[in-house]
Amino acid sequence: MESSKITNLNNIKNIYFIGIGGSGMFPLAHILKEKGFNVSGADIYESDTLQKVRDLGIKVYTEHKESNIDGQDLIVFSAAIKETNPEIIAAKKAGIPVIERSVMLGLVFNKYKKSIGVSGTHGKTTTTSMITSVLIDAGKDPTSVIGATLKKIGGNSYIGNSDIMVAEACEYVDSFLQLNPAISVITNVDADHLDYFGTLENVIKSFRKYALQTSKLVIYNGDSENTTKAVQDISAKVISFGLDEKNDYYAKNISFGKMQNARFDIIHDGKTVSHVTLSVPGKHNIYNALATYIVCSHLGVSNEDFEKYITNFTGAHRRFEILLEKNGITIADDFAHHPTEIKSTLEAASKMGFKRVIAIFQPHTFSRTFMFQEEFAETLSIADEVIVSDILPVRETNIYCVKSTDLTDKIKNSHYIPTFEEICEFVIKNAQSGDLILTLGGGNIYKCANLIAKKL
């Protein structure tokens, strides 16, 4: 569905959101309401987020009807909305501009002088959350849009009064090309969403376009060959980070605590500029923290404040989130749904001293499961025992004829168990003191973790 051509919010007063209860729609509705726009919308699905919309005093319709859009100046729709939606049809008949959610994010982004877009195949949400957390603690009062709940702000959006805005910039279907940030972070570039991009080279090209749209500074992972390719010869200033000493900022003297939380020094121009202690596990969070340091430093956060406030960050929702510790059994949940992410998560988990790491994986989309089945099998094998559920189709039909057993057939000590109820029953029966039960996936596998936690 094409969006109307609209370049700013001048002369716009009344904005209507179709699918206003969506996790990506709520932050924009929240920001625009705070900025003085008249915001309303519709959603047929009741949720905690939809209740938050109502709590802001925003009028919500629970049925999609043509009459809902009377008097509106602009209609915003989420990716889940079809062209057959009666409000879309009515708006087009009435000549009311209709734009997709990512276009609106771009329009909001343009209203902030110090806009920071956080992109990358992996780590976007955690890095956006880290930056937001440190900036809030340091008194910088940012506005922020995050792809998951951050406990500190009680949701996935925060409305500040400064000229700083931090937002997660998603590459899927080139959504982030609607943004023109002052500062961009590229955490890494990897082969993913190949149902849309087709090839890794096309992924790199997309990130390059995004980097070219950045006006002042691109902060990128210099240890990632693909990321380095994406930022070659761009007009904005570039700053690299990583573990390799070739980078502008790099981590040195790295050590890990019992829960795999890293301690390290940040080196720049041959000098130690910060001593960092993280409260989140895994080597991958060193990279996220390096990017966070560079952003916060450029926004005026002192080294002393950074060191103090980065330790306060305890993670975003579904990022190695510990749900329960009972009878010596630990239950945790993680959003990892790509082999690279699963590897990072399971490598960290395997070093935490648990007797067994039992991974419960929900494959996310048929295309990704088919294209990366060898890589999934290899990375899941890091766990001591693996359970694979049915594949979550999301937006796809199974033209690949791929099955969950295509994974379990390649993994020792693995089980294909179709449903969350059956998985819960199996885990409750077999879990032992000293086990980590870790659910993994980008879909609704967290419901399985919550079910196990409830019944344990």
Q: Which two tokens stand for residue 207?
A: 């990130």
Please state the pTM of the whole predicted model.
0.90
Active-site residue, selected from the candidate residues 126, 128, 140, 168: 168
Domain holding 93, by residue range, is: 14-103
Per-residue pLDDT, 1:
61
Per-residue pLDDT, 5:
79
Strands 143-150 and 155-158: antiparallel
Pick the last residue of a domain from 64, 85, 103.
103
Per-residue pLDDT, 147:
87
Q: Confirm whether 222 is domain-assigned.
A: yes
Neighbours of 325 (CB within 10 A): 12
Pick the last residue of a domain from 82, 103, 124.
103
CATH number where 179 lies: 3.40.1190.10
Question: pLDDT tens digit string along 406-416?
Answer: 999 999 999 99
Question: pLDDT tens digit string along 72-126?
Answer: 999 999 877 888 999 999 999 999 999 999 999 999 998 899 999 999 999 999 9
Asked if 44 and 185 sit in the same domain, the reply is no
Look over the chain and give the mean of its residue pLDDT values, rounded to a whole number. 94
Q: Confirm whether 150 is domain-assigned.
A: yes
Active-site residue, selected from the candidate residues 49, 100, 114, 125: 125
Per-residue pLDDT averaged across 399-425, rounded?
Answer: 97
Pick the last residue of a domain from 63, 83, 103.
103
Q: Confirm whether 9 is domain-assigned.
A: no
Handedness of CA 232, 287, 349, 425 (dihedral sign): negative
Asked if 165 and 249 sit in the same domain, the reply is yes
Amino acid at 356: R
| Residues 145 and 168 sit within 8 Å (Cβ to Cβ) | yes
Q: Which two tokens stand for residue 303?
A: 């080294």
Asked if 260 and 166 sit in the same domain, the reply is yes
Per-residue pLDDT, 244:
97
Does residue 429 surpass a pLDDT of 90? yes
Produce one character per residue of 128-150: b if its CB has 16 or more CB atoms within 10 Å, e if not.
Answer: bbbbbbbbbbbebebbbbbbbbb
Q: Is 92 a catalytic residue?
A: no
Q: How confident is the model at residue 403 (pLDDT cuts 50, 70, 90)?
A: very high
Task: Kindly state the percentage of the chain with pLDDT values over 70.
Answer: 99
Domain total of the chain:
3
| Residues 158 and 224 sit within 8 Å (Cβ to Cβ) | no
Q: Is 403 a catalytic residue?
A: no
Asked if 134 and 254 sit in the same domain, the reply is yes
Q: Confirm whether 5 is domain-assigned.
A: no
Active-site residue, selected from the candidate residues 33, 52, 114, 124: 124
Produce one character per residue of 335-350: b if its CB has 16 or more CB atoms within 10 Å, e if not.
Answer: bbbbbbbbbbbbbbbb
Q: Is 83 a catalytic residue?
A: no
Neighbours of 34 (CB within 10 A): 15
